[in-house]
Chains A and B, each alone.
Chain A
Amino acid sequence: METKDGLVGAVLVVGGGVGGIQAALDLAESGYYVYLLEKSPAIGGVMAQLDKTFPTNDCSMCILSPKLVEAGRHLNIELITYAELKEVSGEPGRFRVKILKKPRYINVDKCTGCGECAQVCPVEVDSEFDQGLTKRKAIFIPYPQAVPSIFTIDKKERPPCVRTCPAHVNVQGYVALTSKGKYKEGLELIKENLPLPGVLGRICPHPCESKCNRALIDEPVAIANLKRFLADQVKDELLPQVKAEEKEERVAIVGSGPSGLTAAYQLVKEGYGVTVFEALPVVGGMLYVGIPEYRLPKRVLGDEIEAVKDLGIEIKTNTPIGKDLTLDDLFAQGYKAVFIAVGAHKSLELGIPGEHADGVVHGVAFLREMNLGKEMRLGRKVAIIGGGNVAIDAARSALRLGAQKVLILYRRSRVEMPASDEEIEAALAEGVEIQYLFAPTEVLVDDGRVVGMTCVRMELGAPDASGRRRPLPIPGSEFDIEVDMVIPAIGQAPDVSFLEGSGIALSTRGLIDVDPITLATSRPGVFAGGDAQTGPGIAIEAVAAGNRAAVSITRHLKGEDLRHGREMEEEAKPPDLSGLPLGEPRKPRMQMPAIDLEKRRSSFDEVALGFTEEMALQEAKRCLNCGICSECLQCVAACKAEAIDHKMQDEIVELDVGSILLAPGYESFDPSVQYELGYRRFPNVVTSLEFERILSASGPFQGTLLRPSDLTPPHNIAFIQCVGSRDEKHNRPYCSSVCCTYAIKEAIIAKEHSTIPLDITLFFMDLRTYGKDFDRYYDRAKDRSGVNFVRAKVYSIDAVDGTGNLVVKLATEDGRVMEESFSMVVLSVGFQPSAELMRLAKKIGIQLNPYGFCQTKPFSPVETSKPGIFVCGAFSAPKDIPETVMQASGAAASVSTLLAPARNTLIREKKYPPEKDVAGEQPRIGVFVCHCGINIGGVVNVPEVRDYAATLPNVAFADANLYTCSQDTQEKIKAAIEEHNLNRVVVASCSPRTHEPLFQETIREAGLNKHLFEMANIRDQCSWVHMNEPEKATQKAKDLVRMAVAKARLIEPLRPLSLPVNHSALVIGGGIAGMTSALTLADQGFEVHLIERNGELGGVARKIHYTVDGADVQAYLTDLVRKVKEHPQISVYYNTWIVDAYGYMGNFTTDIMRYRGRVIEKINHGVTIIATGAQEYKPDGEYLYGRDPRVLTQLELEEEISRGNPDTIGCDNLVMIQCVGSRNGKRPYCSRVCCNQAIKNALKLKEIKPDMNIYILYRDMRTYGFYEEHYQEARRKGVIFLRYDPEDKPEVSQMRKDGQYLLRVGGRDLVLGEEVSIEADILVLSVAMEPSPEAAELATLYKVPQNEDGFFLEAHVKLRPVDFATDGIFVCGLAHAPKSIDESIAQAKAAASRATTILAKDYVIGEGIVASVNENICSACGICEALCPYGAITINRERKVAEVNETLCKGCGTCCAACPSGAAQQRGFRTDQVSAMIRTALEA
Chain B
Amino acid sequence: MIVLNEQDTKFKYEVSEEPGGENIKLCFACGLCTASCPVADIDPEYNPRKIIHMVLLGMRKEVLSSDFPWLCTQCYTCQAHCPQNVKFSDVMKALRSMAVREGYVHPSFVEQIKQIDAFSQRLRHQMVSSILAQKSEEMKVDLAKLAEEALGKVKV
Residues of A within 8 A of B (CB): 676, 722, 726-730, 765, 792-796, 809-813, 815-817, 1212-1213, 1251, 1253, 1255, 1261, 1271-1272, 1275-1278, 1280-1281, 1283, 1306, 1309, 1311-1312, 1314-1320
* B2 (CB) vs chain A CBs: closest residue: A1316
> Which 3 pairs, one residue from A and one from B, show the smallest C-beta to C-beta distance?
A795-B35, A811-B34, A793-B30
Residue of A nearest to B34 (CB): A811
Say yes or no: A1275 contacts B85, CB within 8 Å.
no
Q: Could you give, for residues 57-74 of chain B, a 1 whenever the CB lies within 8 Å of some chain A CB and a 0 otherwise?
A: 100000000000000000
Across-interface contacts of B56 in A (CB, < 8 A): 1280
Q: Does B98 contact A (CB under 8 A)?
A: no
Q: Are A811 and B4 in contact (CB under 8 A)?
A: no
User: B2 to A1311, Cβ gap below 8 A?
Assistant: no
Give the docked Cα–Cα distance between A809 and B31 (Å): 11
Question: Are B81 and A815 in touch, CB under 8 angstroms?
Answer: no
- From known contacts A1275-B28, A1312-B54, infer whether A728 and B3 are also in contact, taking CB-CB under 8 Å: no
Known: A765-B28, A1316-B2. A729 touches B85 (CB 8 A): yes
Specify which chain B residues have a CB less than 8 angstroms from the CB of A1316 in the assembled complex: 1-4, 57
Chain B residue, CB-CB nearest to A1315 = B1
Tell me, rounded to whole Å, the shortest Cβ–Cβ distance linking B68 to chain A.
12
Q: How far is the CB of A1264 from chain B (nearest CB, A)?
A: 14
Question: Across the interface, which residues of B come within 8 angstroms of A1309, CB to CB?
Answer: 2, 53, 57
A915, chain B: closest CB distance, angstroms: 64
| Cα distance A817–B48 in the bound complex, in angstroms | 11
Q: What are 11 pairs between A and B in contact, CB < 8 Å?
A: A728-B83, A765-B30, A792-B35, A810-B35, A811-B31, A811-B40, A815-B34, A817-B41, A1212-B5, A1275-B26, A1315-B2
Known: A792-B35, A794-B35, A1311-B53. 14 other contacts (CB 8 A): A722-B83, A726-B28, A730-B83, A793-B83, A811-B47, A812-B31, A815-B31, A817-B34, A817-B37, A1261-B28, A1278-B12, A1278-B13, A1280-B56, A1318-B5
**B105 contacts partner chain A, Cβ-Cβ < 8 Å:** no
Q: Within 8 Å CB of B53, what residues of A? A: 1309, 1311-1312
Residues of A within 8 A of B34 (CB): 811, 815, 817
For the complex formed, measure the closest distance between the CB of A718 and the CB atoms of chain B, giving whole angstroms: 14
- A816 and B44 in contact (CB under 8 A), knowing A1253-B9, A1318-B5? yes
B4 adjacent to A729 (CB under 8 Å): no
Decide yes or no whether B120 CB sits under 8 A from chain A. no
**In the complex, what's the smallest C-beta–C-beta distance from A829 to chain B, in angstroms?**
14
Interface pair A1318/B26, CB less than 8 Å apart: no
Is B134 on the interface with A (CB-CB < 8 A)?
A: no
Min Cβ gap B74→A in Å is 18
Is B50 in contact with chain A by the CB < 8 A criterion?
yes
Query: Which residue of chain A has its CB nearest to the CB of B85?
Result: A728
CA distance A1271 to B13 in the complex (A): 18
CB neighbours (8 Å) of B49 from chain A are 811, 815, 1311
Number of interface residues of B (CB under 8 A): 37
Contact B47–A815 (Cβ < 8 Å): yes
A residues near B13, Cβ cutoff 8 Å: 1278
Give the residue of B2, B54, B81 whose beta carbon is less than 8 angstroms from that of A795. B81
Q: Residue of A at shortest CB range from B45?
A: A815
- Return chain B residues, CB-CB under 8 Å to A794: 35
Residues in B neighbouring A1213, C-beta threshold 8 A: 5
Contacts of B128 in A (CB 8 A): none
Q: How far in angstroms is the closest Cβ of chain A from B8?
A: 11
Smallest CB–CB gap between B60 and chain A, Å? 15
A796 to B31 alpha-carbon distance, docked (Å): 12
Asked if A809 meets B9 with Cβ closer than 8 Å, knowing A727-B83, A729-B82, A1317-B4, the reply is no
Tell me, yes or no, whether B36 is within 8 Å of chain A by CB.
Answer: yes
- Closest-CB distance, B126 to chain A (whole angstroms): 28
- Is there contact, CB below 8 Å, between B1 and A817? no
B121 at the interface (CB under 8 A from A): no
Q: How far is the CB of B42 from chain A (nearest CB, A)?
A: 10
- CA of A796 to CA of B77, assembled, Å: 12
B residues lining the A interface (CB < 8 Å): 1-6, 9-10, 12-13, 25-32, 34-37, 40-41, 44, 47, 49-50, 53-54, 56-57, 81-85
Question: Is there contact, CB below 8 Å, between A729 and B26?
Answer: no
Min CB gap B67→A, angstroms = 15
Q: Which residues of B contact A1251 (CB under 8 A)?
A: 9-10
Least Cβ distance of B144 to chain A in Å? 22
Does B4 lie within 8 Å of A1318, measured CB to CB? yes
Chain B nearest CB, measured from A1243 CB (Å): 14
Chain B: CB-nearest residue to A810: B35
A1251 to chain B, nearest CB (A): 8
Q: A929 → chain B, closest Cβ, in Å?
A: 53
Which of B3, B35, B85 is the one whose CB lies under 8 Å from A1319? B3
Contact between chains at A796 and B2 (CB < 8 Å)? no
Cα distance A1251–B58 when bound, in Å? 13
Q: In the bound complex, how far is the Cα of B37 from the Cα of A796, in angstroms?
A: 12
For the complex, what is the distance from the CA of A1182 to the CA of B134, rounded to whole Å? 71
**When the two chains form their complex, are residues A1319 and B5 in contact, meaning their CB atoms are under 8 A apart?**
yes
Residues of A within 8 A of B26 (CB): 728, 1272, 1275-1276
Q: Is the CB of B32 within 8 A of A1275?
A: no
Cβ B12 vs Cβ A1312 within 8 A: no
- A796 near B36 with CB under 8 A, answer yes
Residue pair A1276, B54 in contact (C-beta under 8 Å): no
Of chain A, the residue at the smallest CB distance from B77 is: A795
| Contact pick for A1317, options B3, B10, B29, CB 8 Å | B3
- B3, B25, B35: the one contacting A1275 at CB < 8 Å is B25
State whether A1278 touches B25 (Cβ < 8 A). yes
Residues from chain A with Cβ under 8 Å of B31 in the complex: 792-793, 810-813, 815
Whether the Cβ atoms of A1253 and B28 lie closer than 8 Å is no
Minimal Cβ-Cβ distance residue in A for B82: A729
Q: Which residues of A contact B82 (CB under 8 A)?
A: 729
Complexed CA–CA distance, A816 and B41 (Å)? 10
Q: Please measure, in the bound complex, the distance between the C-alpha atom of A811 and the C-alpha atom of B52, giving whole angstroms.
A: 15
Q: Collect the chain A residues with CB atoms within 8 Å of residue B50's CB.
A: 815, 1311-1312
Taking CB as reference atom, which chain B residue is nearest A1276? B25
Alpha-carbon distance between A1212 and B27 when the two chains are bound, in angstroms: 23
B52 CB, min distance to chain A CBs, angstroms: 9
Say yes or no: A726-B3 contact (C-beta < 8 A), given A793-B35, A816-B44: no
- Give every chain B residue within 8 A of A810 (Cβ-Cβ): 31, 35
Query: Considering the chains assembled together, what is the distance between the CA atoms of A1255 and B56 in angstroms?
Result: 11
- In chain A, what residue has the closest Cβ to B27? A1275
Bound: A1063/B4 CA distance, A: 62
Contacts of A728 in B (CB 8 A): 26, 83-85
Nearest CB to that of A795 among chain B residues? B35
Q: Tell whether A729 pairs with B41 under 8 Å between CB atoms, given A794-B35, A795-B32.
A: no
CA distance A231 to B3 in the complex (A): 89
Q: What is the chain A residue whose CB lies nearest that of B5?
A: A1213
Question: Smallest distance from the beta carbon of B138 to chain A beta carbons, Å?
Answer: 22
Contact of B4 among A765, A1255, A1311 (CB under 8 A): A1255
Residue of B nearest to A1321 (CB): B5
- Cα(A813)–Cα(B28), bound, Å: 12
Q: Which of chain A's residues have a CB closer than 8 A to the CB of B4?
A: 1253, 1255, 1280, 1316-1318
Q: Could you tell me the distance in whole angstroms from the C-beta of B148 to the nearest C-beta in chain A? A: 27
Q: Is B28 a contact partner of A1281 (Cβ separation < 8 A)?
A: yes
- Distance to closest chain B CB from A1388 (angstroms): 34
Q: How far is the CA of A793 from the CA of B27 in the complex (A)?
A: 13
Q: Which residues of A contact B25 (CB under 8 A)?
A: 1275-1278
Q: In the assembled complex, how far is the CB of residue B7 from the closest CB belonging to chain A, in whole angstroms?
A: 9
A795:B28 contact, CB within 8 angstroms: no
Is there an interface contact between B85 and A1317, defined as CB atoms closer than 8 Å?
no
Cα distance A794–B5 when bound, in Å? 32
Closest to A1313 in B: B50
Note all chain A residues with C-beta closer than 8 A to B28: 726, 765, 1261, 1271-1272, 1275, 1281
Whole-angstrom CA separation of A496 from B37 in the bound complex: 81
Shortest distance in angstroms between A1302's beta carbon and chain B's nearest beta carbon? 10
In the complex, what residues of A have CB within 8 A of residue B84's CB? 728-729, 1272
Which residues of A sit under 8 angstroms from B85, Cβ to Cβ? 728-729
A810 to B31, CA, bound (A): 8
